Amino acid sequence: MRSPACFTGLYAFKPTSGRFPLQGLTFYSATSGGEHNLRTSLGPIAKSVDDCVLLTKAFTENLDSFKMYESVLHQVIRPFDDSIYTNRSKKLKIGYFKTYECFEASMSNQRAVDVAIQALREAGHELVEVELPNIERTILLFFEI
C-alpha cells in the first residue's frame, strides 16, 4: 500500500493486519500449522489523508454486519475513533528509528526521518529514538515461541 502510494503522489494507511474485516479476501501467504506466516493487511490508498480517514471510517462502521468467525480469534476490529484524529491539542509520544543494523537505510531515507522528527517536534510532540533488537535474536525468539 505505502510503496505504490509514495511513487504516485497518493496517501496510504497500512493498518495492523486484522484492523479491518478480512472476510472475502484471499490470503497469499503459506500456512503452517493453521497459522498464516504473513498476514494480509487491508488499507486505503487515496488522494488525501482526509480521504484515507473517510475510507477507514467506511471500513470500520457497521461492524455488526461482519460476522466474526471463530478461526480468527486474534482479529480485533475496532471502529475509527474520530476524537483521537480531530483532537489536535493532544501531544503524542512517538518512537522512531533511522536505520537497522542488518538492513541499513539509505542516507536519503535517514534524512527523511530527520525532517519528520523536526516537524513533529515543532508541532509539540515528544519523539523518542528506539533501539530495535538484533534481527538474528528476534528471529530465533519468534520461532521458539
Could you tell me if 7 and 64 lie in one domain?
A: yes
Could you tell me if 10 and 46 lie in one domain?
A: yes
Could you tell me if 84 and 95 lie in one domain?
A: no
Closest listed residue to residue 103, CA positions, set 138, 128, 129:
138
The whole domain housing 30 covers 1-88
Model pLDDT, residue 121 = 96
* Long-range own/partner contacts, residues 134-142 (CB < 8 A, 24 or more apart): 134/101, 134/102, 135/100, 135/101, 135/102, 135/103, 136/102
Model pLDDT, residue 125 = 94
Q: Compute the Cα dihedral for 36, 145, 43, 6 and give only its sign.
A: negative
Could you tell me if 49 and 116 lie in one domain?
A: no
Model pLDDT, residue 7 = 79
Could you tell me if 129 and 66 lie in one domain?
A: no
Could you tell me if 108 and 56 lie in one domain?
A: no
Task: Identify the domain boundary among 88, 106, 127.
Answer: 88
pTM over the 0.75 mark: no
CA separation, residue 88 to residues 6, 46, 123 (Å): 25, 22, 10
Q: Which residue has the cell 484515507?
A: 52
pLDDT along the chain (145 residues), means of 10: 78 79 60 55 88 87 58 62 83 88 82 94 94 75 71
Closest listed residue to residue 100, CA positions, set 135, 142, 68, 144:
135
Domain count, the chain: 2
Could you tell me if 78 and 104 lie in one domain?
A: no
Reading the block at residue 122, the C-alpha cell is 515543532
